[in-house]
């Protein structure tokens, strides 16, 4: 089987080479047409031509050359495979056949109801540019989907940093070192040590009998706009590709709201393309100051704007991911706020710096400490809070169980209280459960709230035709979990996860116990084609 590089090269590059060759022939042909006739009048003699010689001089290596030689051996190519998923849906795209965008997770100290969806400039941000080759994306059942990315070794024992989206959903991960032979072998098997979706970072590991070359992590806080930087990676499977540019900006947040509150990128104009994901951005000391993560593009390729996760954030996340828990633990107090309030709000509420609390999670740390909506948080442990980012960074860095002293304004009066920090993951998991319960109550239908379907009990005639009881689907919400599984109005659900759903109450009881991350399998029949028998469809509830 041809390697992914060979297939990519043949599909992407061959046409370009053919085009260049064709142009060359045309130019030569044109030249002959213009000059060949008169040239034939003289004898084709080149005895007076002087042979060319290569000048044997050397150019001293510049800093980019030195850095490429120094760091290149520690930069790796990452190739992943996603195996076909079983499905009984026909005529419908398998939802597992493409890399899905990272879900909008509820955020610690969530920034309220700012736009979270795609639209405008956000449509052009391509976070998943380590992903599949386009003509392999969304293949039919039975097709193995491959994706490409980069990474760099930080521990001689084989620990590698890359992007979460490079390895997310992958069933097999392979790593190729710069010293590995260029063959059809995919590389060395790797396993995931830990991932962090909030920063789109991951740590993987390969086994090795000898120490591997490593990179050094630099201080991203000390970088300045205008500093030279160098990127190394595997764009379009072209491993060990080196590009250079400058730092264009710092502290860029490219996703609004909670999903972007831990993503404050370094912006660079160093050329970054599909396959560069997870590769290092280096300063002129050869130190990694960022992990190349995203690009802004209208062409799916380089347009001069790339984003790298700062190394200071990378170090903190890495140390948590290689700890015994293999996860990042962040503090939370269970509030939501609106970022970027107008000056009029500040003037009316009487504050210049601080955070206006929009919502307080019932039973959360802030509510237990007496914080209420409308309070303005101005200080933590005596230090003034500038804005929402400042508040999130301060609280997220604290360990669950520790306490902080929060200063706040209420009705223009200064007050303070002691808050016990909670675990962000647990605090907002509780919030998500409460919201699901609330949505269910508001909509009055657990199937609509969780799965996106409304059902009713089948009629007596339909039950007789099917020789069994169940619930018939009345409507399916577009884009919902049920829609992605291929469910449609008219189908009858007999069981969910092997539990009978002969009545609406039984269906609601089974579905109410399903949680995010659970596998959900429907046993269905089509009363229009009862002779087709039972059918099974399902997936993992996201």
Q: What is the per-residue DSSP string for 472-518?
A: EEEEE-TTSHHHHTT--TT-EEEEETTEE-SSHHHHHHHHHT--TT-
Alpha-carbon span 516 to 175, nearest angstrom? 32
Percent of the chain, pLDDT > 70? 77
Most confident option among 2-11, 242-251, 443-452: 242-251
Residue 38 above 60 pLDDT?
Answer: no
Lowest-pLDDT range of 75-79, 96-100, 234-238, 492-496: 96-100
* DSSP characters over 344-407: HHHHHHT-SSSEEEEEE-TTSHHHHTT--TT-EEEEETTEEP-SHHHHHHHHHTSPTT-EEEEE
Indicate if the pLDDT at residue 131 is higher than 70. no
The pLDDT of residue 478 is: 81
pLDDT at residue 221 greater than cutoff 90 = yes
Position 61 scores a pLDDT of: 83
Mean pLDDT: which of 88-97, 164-173, 335-344 is highest? Answer: 164-173
> Is the predicted pLDDT of residue 515 greater than 70, yes or no?
yes
pLDDT higher than threshold 50 for residue 156: yes
Q: Which residue has the higher pLDDT, 127 or 204?
A: 204
Query: Which of 127, 373, 452, 453 is CA-nearest to residue 259?
Result: 127
What's the pLDDT at 530? 79
Query: CA distances (Å), 172 to each of 97, 188, 388, 433, 450, in order?
Result: 15, 11, 39, 33, 31
pLDDT of residue 432: 52
More confident residue, 470 or 28: 470
- Asked whether residue 161 carries a pLDDT value surpassing 90, the answer given is yes
- Res 443 pLDDT > 90: no
pLDDT at 340: 66
Mean pLDDT across 266-272: 93
**What is the structure's pLDDT at 85?**
58
What's the pLDDT at 14?
A: 39
pLDDT tens, 377-436? Answer: 999 999 998 888 889 889 998 989 999 999 999 988 899 999 999 998 888 776 555 554
HSE toward the beta carbon, residue 92, CA cutoff 13 A: 16
The domains located in the chain, with CATH, are 70-321 (2.40.10.120), 331-426 (2.30.42.10), 444-540 (2.30.42.10)
6 band by pLDDT with thresholds 50, 70 and 90: low
Model pLDDT, residue 258: 66
Among 158-172, 248-262, 412-426, 433-447, whose mean pLDDT is lowest?
433-447
Task: Say how far apart CA 136 and CA 147 lie, in whole Å.
Answer: 9
Give the tokens for residue 464.
């007789």
Quote the CA–CA distance of 307 and 431 in Å, as a whole number. 31
Asked if the model's pLDDT at residue 247 lies above 70, the reply is yes
CA-to-CA distance for 525 and 529, rounded, in angstroms? 8
Mean pLDDT rounded to a whole number for the chain: 79
pLDDT at position 129 is 40
Percent of the chain with pLDDT over 90: 37
The pLDDT of residue 431 is: 55
- Predicted local confidence at residue 30, as pLDDT: 46
pLDDT band for position 445 (50/70/90)?
A: confident
Residue burial 122-141, b: 16+ Cβ < 10 Å; e: rest: eeebbbbbbbbbeebebbee
Angle at 438 between CA 458 and CA 444, to 5 degrees: 25
Residues forming the active site: 165, 200, 277
pLDDT tier, 527 (very low <50, low <70, confident <90, very high otherwise)? confident
pLDDT at 426: 83
Q: What average pLDDT score do residues 57-80 get?
A: 90
> CA–CA separation, 90 vs 94, rounded Å?
9
Res 106: pLDDT: 27
Q: Which two tokens stand for residue 525?
A: 């029949």
More confidently predicted of 315 and 297: 315
Tell me the pTM.
0.63
Average pLDDT on 189-202 reads 94
Task: Report whether pLDDT(536) > 60.
Answer: yes
| pLDDT at position 199 over 80 | yes
pLDDT higher than 90, residue 141: no
Mean pLDDT of 526-532: 81
Across 192-206, 431-445, 469-483, the highest mean pLDDT is recorded for 192-206
Region 252-277: mean pLDDT is 85
């Amino acid at each position: 089987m041809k390697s992914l590089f060979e297939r990519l090269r043949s599909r992407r590059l061959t046409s370009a080479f053919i085009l260049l060759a064709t142009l060359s022939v045309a130019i030569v042909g044109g030249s002959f047409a213009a000059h060949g006739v008169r040239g034939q009048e003289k004898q084709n003699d080149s005895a007076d031509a002087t042979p060319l010689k290569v000048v044997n001089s050397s150019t001293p290596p510049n800093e980019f050359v030195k850095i490429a030689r120094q760091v290149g051996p520690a930069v790796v190519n990452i190739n992943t495979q996603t195996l076909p998923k079983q499905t009984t849906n026909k005529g419908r795209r398998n939802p597992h056949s493409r890399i899905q965008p990272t879900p909008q997770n509820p955020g610690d100290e969530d920034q309220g109801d700012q736009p979270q969806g795609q639209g405008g400039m956000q449509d052009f941000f391509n976070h998943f540019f380590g992903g599949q080759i386009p003509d392999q994306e969304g293949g039919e059942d039975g097709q193995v989907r491959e994706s490409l990315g980069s990474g760099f070794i930080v521990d001689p024992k084989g620990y590698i940093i890359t992007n979460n989206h490079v390895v997310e959903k992958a069933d097999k991960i392979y790593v190729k070192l710069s010293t590995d032979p260029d063959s059809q072998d995919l590389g060395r098997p790797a396993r995931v040590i830990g991932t962090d979706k909030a920063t789109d970072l991951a740590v993987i590991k390969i086994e090795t009998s000898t120490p591997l070359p490593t990179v050094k992590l630099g201080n991203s806080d000390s970088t300045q706009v205008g500093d030279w930087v160098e990127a190394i990676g595997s764009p379009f499977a072209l491993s060990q590709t080196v590009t250079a540019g400058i730092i264009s900006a710092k502290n860029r947040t490219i996703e609004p709201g909670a999903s972007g509150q831990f993503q404050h990128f370094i912006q660079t104009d160093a050329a970054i393309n599909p396959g560069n994901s997870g590769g290092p951005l280096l300063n002129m000391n050869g130190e990694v100051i960022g992990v190349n993560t995203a690009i802004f593009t209208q062409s799916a390729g380089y347009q001069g704007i790339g984003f790298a996760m700062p190394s200071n954030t990378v170090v903190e996340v890495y140390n948590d991911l290689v700890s015994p828990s293999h996860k990042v633990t962040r503090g939370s107090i269970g509030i939501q706020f609106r970022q970027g309030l107008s000056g009029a709000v500040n003037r009316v509420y009487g504050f210049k710096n601080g955070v206006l609390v929009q919502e307080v999670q019932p039973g959360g740390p802030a509510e237990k400490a007496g914080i209420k909506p409308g309070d303005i948080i101005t200080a933590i442990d005596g230090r003034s809070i500038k804005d929402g980012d400042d508040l999130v960074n301060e609280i997220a860095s604290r360990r669950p169980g520790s306490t902080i002293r929060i200063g706040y304004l209420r009705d223009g009066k200064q007050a303070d209280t002691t808050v016990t920090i909670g675990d962000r993951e647990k605090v907002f998991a509780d919030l998500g459960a409460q919201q699901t319960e609330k949505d269910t109550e508001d909509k009055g239908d657990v199937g609509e709230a969780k799965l996106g379907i409304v059902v009713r009990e089948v009629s007596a005639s339909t039950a007789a035709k099917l020789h069994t009881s169940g619930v018939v689907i009345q409507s399916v919400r577009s884009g919902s979990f049920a829609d992605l599984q291929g469910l449609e109005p008219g189908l009858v659900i007999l069981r969910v996860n092997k539990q009978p759903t002969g009545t609406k109450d039984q269906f609601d009881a089974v579905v109410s116990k399903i949680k995010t991350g659970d596998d959900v399998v429907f046993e269905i029949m089509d009363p229009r084609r009862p002779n087709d028998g039972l059918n099974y469809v399902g997936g993992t509830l996201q």
